[in-house]
Structure 1
Amino acid sequence: MLKFLDLSVKFTVLPRASKERGASLIVVMLLLVIVSILGISGVQISMMAERGTRNDRDTQIAWQSTEAALMDAEFDILGQPASSSTKRNSIFKRGSTDISQFVQDCGTSGNTIGLCALNATGKPAWLAVDFTITANNAPTTVFGTYTGRTFPSGNAGIQPAQPPRYVIEPIPDPSMSRTKDPKDVKYIYRITAMGFGPNADTQTVSQVIFRN
């Protein structure tokens, strides 16, 4: 007698409501992921914009500090204000041919602080000097050293982290270019200043040529 195997397959049909609930859960999860990504991206963009605005503000403060140092250097050369007890304007006589007070690699003491001899070859002094040195023997002149003027700085509030600094170099007056005897060459002055932002790493440099 032949026996046949029962190979029939039974299918269980899930209720439609159960299928719909499963699909809805997947859609909700996808939406949550997308919203989370958009939220994180928005926060990152906001943080980048805030950092950019802060950097721009710090740079503007540093530029203002630099401009103040250039003006202080001009007062230094002119011996202003007259009430200052630390003037050294006798070094910067109009039409002067004496540059003996200007030191190679920049002076660090007395009336020679920040006075840099002109380098005939190689880098000019303003490129070789380190403006970030703040020790007493720094080769740069800190704001107000020879003018008695004050400059607000420090960690209180939004202001430069430290006072600006400058150096002064003598350069031959272009109007004397035809002078053959070096002893007759007259000099004008190149002022280079560095200012700082609320973050000392934010630095700006500016330069002017000044004729006394």
Structure 2
Amino acid sequence: MKPVASARSAARAQERGVALVVVMLFLVAITGIGIWTARQSMLAESMARNQMDQEIARQAAESALRDAERDIDSASLGELLQKASCQRNTSVSMTYGLNPMDFNEGCVRGLCYKTDESYAISNWQTANDENRDAAEPWWPKSKGGRWVADDDPEGTLKPGRDPINNNHCDDFIGGVPFGTYTGAPPIRGVAKQPEYLIEIFKRKNVRRNSVETSVTSTSESANQWATMYRITARGFGYSTRTQVVLQAVFFP
């Protein structure tokens, strides 16, 4: 009888050993599934956060486009205009729009000018800080763009909006911070206020659609040179690394 009892005890011990292995395998599998699920959730959350950040930057850039249009029109905004950091004209009552003579190659005060010949030789491959002849103003600084001055890479020498700082109204270079010339209140929740550059072009026979008889809203004839502007705005999200650049052509 003792040998039989010993055999049964050995069999039961072996069965318990197999059950332990099976349980351990189940635990490993469940742990792996849990880790995978957690990673998927974190990835989805990160994607949603990035998408929201991108959308914030896009909306900020669109706001800067509208702000630039108001800047070009120099529309009478009443008390809002009086709260602006800077003025394009010598008096708030002067609302004739931008002066074409104020546009320059250095993009001082955000007003950029390049000849048609200069645009024709623009080359993304060769443009850089030292070869700006091949660059367009709205390109990144590393490609010769004019968003900031060479001695002010962080854009700190620009008019401030919150609080108002007009110490650099006449000499700042590059993108115009949101509300600088219109008095629009700063956008909340972004790492940096959106900004814009304005380029000026002269074109003949430019109409906004085929049924218009005048070139612009000022009823210029088709034989006259029409003034048009290209606005480039860039907005920032929760981080300055998140940027969206938008462009629009504006006829005054």
TM tier, shorter chain?
0.7 to 0.9
User: Is 2:213 the partner of 1:142?
Assistant: no
Question: Runs ≥4 in structure 1, deviation > 3 angstroms?
Answer: 87-91, 130-133
Residue 188 in structure 1 maps to residue 189 in structure 2 = no
Structure showing greater radius of gyration is 1
Question: Which residue is equivalent to 1:125?
Answer: 137
Per-residue Cα deviation, 1:92-143 (whole angstroms, up to 9, x for no partner)? 36xxxxx331121311xxxxx1001125322321122236842223411011
Q: 1:179 maps to which residue?
A: none
- Residue in structure 2 matching 1:70, options 65, 69, 87: 65
8 A contact 1:188–1:209 mirrored in 2 = yes
Q: Whole-Å Cα distance in 1 between the matches of residues 226 and 20 of structure 2? A: 86
CA distance in 2, matches of 1:119, 1:129: 16
**Kindly tell me: are residues 91 and 117 of structure 1, through their superposed partners in 2, closer, same or farther at Cα, counting changes over 3 Å?**
farther
SS at match of 2:180: coil
Distance 1:174 1:199 in 2: 42
Cα pair 1:91 1:101 within 8 Å, conserved: no
Q: Is the 1:69–1:195 contact (alpha carbons within 8 Å) kept by the matching residues of 2?
A: yes
Say which is worse superposed, 53-62 or 81-90, in terms of deviation.
Answer: 81-90
May I ask how many residue pairs the two structures share in their alignment? 180
Contact 2:205 2:225 in 1 (8 A): no
Shift of 1:189: 0.4
Tell me how large the CA RMSD over aligned residues is: 2.3
Q: C-alpha distance in 2, partners of 1:134/1:33?
A: 54
Normalization by structure 2: what TM-score?
A: 0.65
Provide, for residues 136-187 of structure 1, a one-character-per-residue CA deviation record: whole Å limited to 9, x for no partner. Answer: 234110111111111233xxxxx211211000000222526xxxxxxx7442
Structure 1 residues 146 and 192, CA gap change in structure 2 (3 angstroms): same
Instruction: Give the percent of matched residue pairs that are identical in Structure 1 and Structure 2.
Output: 34
Secondary structure in 1 aligned to 2:61? helix
State the TM-score, normalizing by the size of structure 1. Answer: 0.76
Match of 1:29 in 2: 24
1:91 Cα deviation after fit: 5.3
Question: How far apart, CA to CA, are the structure 2 residues paired with 1:24 and 1:203?
Answer: 57
| SS of residue paired to 1:92 | coil
Give SS of 2:229's match: strand
Matched residue, 2:238: 198
What secondary structure is seen at the aligned counterpart in 1 of 2:32?
helix
The letter for the 2-side match of 1:92 is L
**How many Å separate the matches in 2 of 1:51 and 1:43?**
12
Of the three residues 155, 168, 187, the one matched with 1:152 is: 187
Worse-matched range after superposition: 123-132 or 60-69: 123-132
Structure 1 gaps of 5+ residues are: 1-11, 94-98, 108-112, 154-158, 177-183
Distance 2:231 2:77 in 1: 21
